[in-house]
Structures are given as structure tokens and as C-alpha cells.
Amino acid sequence: MRRAVCSRAMIARDAELAVETVENDPVPTRIRASGEWTFAGLKTRREEILRTLDDLRRIPPSRVAWDLTPIADLDDIGALWLARALRGVGQLEASVQQREILDRVAQGSRVRIAMEHPIDPYAPVVAIGEAALHFGAHLRDATALLGRVVLEAGALARRPRDTPLRELSASVYRAGVAALPVTMLVGFLVGIVLTYLSALQLKRYGADLLVINIVGVGVVRELGPMLASIIAAGRSGSAMTAQLGVMRVTEEIEALQVMGVSIITRLVLPKVIALAIALPLVAFCTDLAALAGALLVSRFTLGIPPQAFLEALPRAVEPVNFWIGIGKSGAFGFAVAFVACHYGLKVLPNTDSLAAGVTRSVVASITCVIILDAIFAIVLRNVG
């Protein structure tokens, strides 16, 4: 029973148009609109009504008389449909409310706003120029931030008591210990893949044992630090940017500044130092995992016993390679955290800017790591 009442109330009476022609009259076409001229009411017989309205357009409007009084309900959509057809009609019968709605809608549809961005033939050139200027501004701001970080680090060295140790240790834990499982897993798998591929090639020349040289140097000097820092950029870098960005959105950064707390000492330095400490350790563990993968594959595909692998490893890989790898990861950690903080502090107080900031931060820090790696490779080409 209850349901029946409900459903009857829900059903809208569809909008209807009745056209009638009277001979020998100055206004021969009579149109009666009835039913609900609302979004819901117009839905079912949309096509039919549109066709009728189209047909009516062929008759000069002065020879048409409209009667809107039977309409049960009129909303903005219905009024918009009617307003177009009603332009300049000979006779119109409508209630005061209906006329008001029609006037309002007609006014709204008369508003013309000039196109805000007219098509500019030089747009691509302008875009390139703007991109360059943006890049320049980023470079300038990053340099300023680097200067401030160095200055505040110097100030901190003079009064070590002010070091935010809690933030520092929390960041080392979050960026280091918490990242170990995923980084080591990736390292292990990459070690397996790399060894397997090299083994396939080396087997043909009977140079099986060289796999230890290739994988050993590759992992310790390049892959370990790179994997660790790329995962750190995705994991910790994005988190740092998001944290600083949200603090900007919630005005926490302003609150700190107003209290006279240095944002650099409090928020940027702990992150930068923590990642520069944590990443070499993570890279070391990644090295271990990758070498374990290599050891496993060499045992099963090349038949090199684990003992032989471990004995050959120190001879194949000079220790300096290891230290280069560790040193590089420290630099990568600094770069990732620094880029993340730079983008985090540039976030404007809106969600769009936050999302864009995090994306750019991850992309820029990975790019930065790869550029740094290329520089290291060239500078240290004669070492190890």
C-alpha cells in the first residue's frame, strides 16, 4: 500500500504539447503545453517534443498563440526549452510565476562572456618560453633553498643542542628501516634477472666465472644505489612532499613561522640528513639481497658453488667500487629529500597544487638521481 503511494508520487506526468489550428483567425496556431515541464518530465518524450518545437519554427512566431497555464510544474530546463520557442510569439498565456521563470532563463541565456583565451597562433612558442622561465624560477628557488639549508646546518653545528633529534630518528626509521623489505625484494629479483641474462651470454663463450665480475661490479657500484634511491624517491620523497604540502594547506607552516620556528631546521634539515644517512644503509642491504639472488642463480644455472662465488667476489670486485656505491647513495639520498622538500614548500594551499607537487617531486627526484649518477660515472670513470 505504502509502496503504491510512493511510486505514484514519484511518477512525473510527462510534458505534453498539443497543437491545434484554427481557420480564419489572425493567430491560427494554438499550442497548449501541459504536464510537468521539468528535467524528469521531459525525459521520456524528449524526441517527440523537440520534433514538434522544430516544426513550429517554420510558422512565423506572430501567428502562434501559446497557452502555458495547464503546465503543472516548470523548472529551469523546461523554461529554457520553452523560452526559445516563445521568442516573439503573438499571444502568450502564462501565470506570473511562469513568466518570472521564463524571464530569468531568457536573461541567463543572453549572457555572453568573451572567450577568455582566444586561440593564439604563438601559443606553442609562449608555452616553451613559459616553461623555460618556470624552470629558471625553480632552479633559482632551489638554489636559495640549498643556501638556506647550508646556512642553517652551519648554525646547527654551532649549537648542536637544537638538533631536532626526534624528527631525525623518525625520518631515518621511516625512510630506512621501513623501506628495507620492498627494496631488498626488488634487489633480490633484479640480481636474479641480471645473473640469468649474463649467464646465458657468458655460457656460449665458456666464460662462466666472469658472471661474478659483471654482476658484482654492476650491483655494488650501480644497481644497488640506483634501486634504493628510485624506490626512496617513490616512497619517501613523495611522502615528504605530501607532508609539507598538507602542512601548507592546513596553515601549519604559517603557524610554525609565526612562532619563530625555522622551517628549514625543523622540517627540511631532518629529512635531508635522514635520507642521506638512511640511503647508504638501504643500498648496502639492497647490494646484499641482489648478490644473494646472483649467488642462487649461479649455483643452479652455472653450477658455481656458493663457496666459490663468495671467494671469487672480493677478487672480482675491488672494495673501492663498494665505497663509490655507498658514497653515491648518500648523495642520492640528499638529492631526493632536497627535491622533495623543495616541491613540498612550493605547494599552494589547494588540492590540485598538492597533487601536482607530489607528481613533479617524484619525477624530478628520479631525474635528478639519474643525472647525478651520470655525473658520477664520468667523474669516477678511472676509479675501480
Instruction: Examine residue 255 and tell whether it contacts another protein (CB under 8 A).
Output: yes
Instruction: Examine residue 201 and tell whether it contacts another protein (CB under 8 A).
Output: no
- Please tell me the count of residues contacting another protein according to CB under 8 A: 11
Contacts of 58 (CB under 8 A, 6+ apart): none
8 A C-beta contact, residue 231 and residue 186: yes
Q: Which is nearer to another protein, 103 or 162 (CB)?
A: 162
List Cα–Cα distances, 158 to 152, 161, 196, 271, 321, in angstroms: 10, 9, 52, 20, 35
Name the segment binding another protein (CB under 8 A); options: 93-101, 210-218, 251-259, 288-296.
Answer: 251-259
CB of 2 to another protein, least distance (A): 37
CB of 148 to another protein, least distance (A): 13
Q: Which is nearer to another protein, 246 or 296 (CB)?
A: 246
Instruction: Examine residue 252 and tell whether it contacts another protein (CB under 8 A).
Output: yes
The DSSP-derived string for 308-375 is HHHHHHHHHS-HHHHHHHHHHHHHHHHHHHHHHHHHHHH--SSHHHHHHHHHHHHHHHHHHHHHHHHH
Instruction: Examine residue 157 and tell whether it contacts another protein (CB under 8 A).
Output: no
8 A C-beta contact, residue 238 and residue 362: yes
From candidates 12, 77, 193, 246, binder to another protein by CB under 8 A: 246
Count CA within 13 A, CB hemisphere, residue 154: 5
CB of 141 to another protein, least distance (A): 15
Name the segment binding another protein (CB under 8 A); options: 188-196, 254-262, 294-302, 307-315.
Answer: 254-262
Instruction: Examine residue 261 and tell whether it contacts another protein (CB under 8 A).
Output: yes
CB of 186 to another protein, least distance (A): 29
Instruction: Examine residue 168 and tell whether it contacts another protein (CB under 8 A).
Output: no
Instruction: Examine residue 259 and tell whether it contacts another protein (CB under 8 A).
Output: yes
Q: Strands 29-37 and 64-67, how do they pair? A: parallel
Rounded distance, CA 192 to CA 293, Å? 5
8 A C-beta contact, residue 90 and residue 64: yes
CB of 231 to another protein, least distance (A): 24
Rounded distance, CA 242 to CA 342, Å? 11
From candidates 54, 100, 103, 254, binder to another protein by CB under 8 A: 254
- Helix axis angle for 269-297 and 180-205, nearest 10°, is 40
Q: Which is nearer to another protein, 201 or 257 (CB)?
A: 257
Cell digits of residue 277:
644517512
From candidates 26, 121, 124, 260, binder to another protein by CB under 8 A: 260
Rounded distance, CA 296 to CA 273, Å? 35
CB of 259 to another protein, least distance (A): 6
Question: Looking at residue 33, what DSSP letter applies?
Answer: E
Rounded distance, CA 256 to CA 263, Å? 7
CB of 113 to another protein, least distance (A): 21
Name the segment binding another protein (CB under 8 A); options: 89-97, 98-106, 243-251, 352-360.
Answer: 243-251
Binding site for another protein (CB under 8 A): 246, 250-252, 254-255, 257-261
